[in-house]
Amino acid sequence: MPLHHLTRFPRLEFIGAPTPLEYLPRLSDYLGREIYIKRDDVTPIAMGGNKLRKLEFLVADALREGADTLITAGAIQSNHVRQTAAVAAKLGLHCVALLENPIGTTAENYLTNGNRLFTGFI
């Protein structure tokens, strides 16, 4: 789908501007071609990430439909869950996150730190 076709869908601007491309000289030298990385880690909400790109459209549609709660599901350490919770908090919406433990670990560090810890603050 050409990019201009996206304008027909409701959208909220969470990212604000294009994220930078960063040249990776050592990897480029190693592979013998120019290699760049898209720096979506510098997006402005919840420690960054590319999940905001789809949330711009999904949340706009939810608001258009009158939603007051965002419901999402993912692994305990899910980046998508973290960013959905942050977007909900930013917009004054409720958020219900259904978390799963796909690797079946009982390690306290996995169950309570990282994205799980951060999502709990939001």
Per-residue pLDDT of the chain (122 residues; tens, 9 = 90+): 787 888 889 999 999 889 999 999 999 999 999 999 999 999 999 888 899 999 999 999 999 999 999 999 999 999 999 999 999 999 999 999 999 999 999 999 989 988 888 877 77
pTM of the model: 0.85
Domain count, the chain: 1
Q: Which range of residues forms the domain containing residue 20?
A: 3-121
Candidates 72, 77, 78, 84; catalytic one = 78
Asked if 28 is an active-site residue, the reply is: no
Structure tokens at 20: 């930078």
Domain with residue 104: its CATH number is: 3.40.50.1100
Within the chain, strands assigned E span 21-23, 36-38, 69-75, 94-100
Q: In angstroms, rounded to a whole number, what is the distance separating the alpha carbons of residues 38 and 70?
A: 28
Residue with tokens 């409720």: 94
Bridge pairing between strands 36-38 and 94-100 = unpaired
